[in-house]
Amino acid sequence: MSEPIIKLQLIARSEIALAQINARRVASRSALFSVALVFLLLGLAMMTMAVYFALQPQCNPPFLRNSYS
């Protein structure tokens, strides 16, 4: 084989290796992002429940209030 063809094959192999490394990095970042998103949604749900339980005694409808107090 001539030398330019060997050099082109070497460049092609190195580009493929770089693309594989980049694909692994993107997959890892996506996995970390999805885990962070799950924790964010759990935190948001807990904050919503905390606000609900904090406001529940103040915002009871009249028909649910105790008539003995």
Mean pLDDT of 14-33: 96
- Does some domain include residue 21? yes
- Does some domain include residue 67? no
pLDDT reported for residue 63: 64
pLDDT reported for residue 42: 98
Taking the C-alpha atoms of residue 45 and residue 17, their distance in angstroms, rounded to an integer, is: 42
Taking the C-alpha atoms of residue 28 and residue 63, their distance in angstroms, rounded to an integer, is: 54
pLDDT reported for residue 54: 86
Average pLDDT, the chain: 88
State how many domains the chain has: 1
- Does some domain include residue 69? no
Mean pLDDT of 43-52: 95
pTM, to two decimals: 0.60
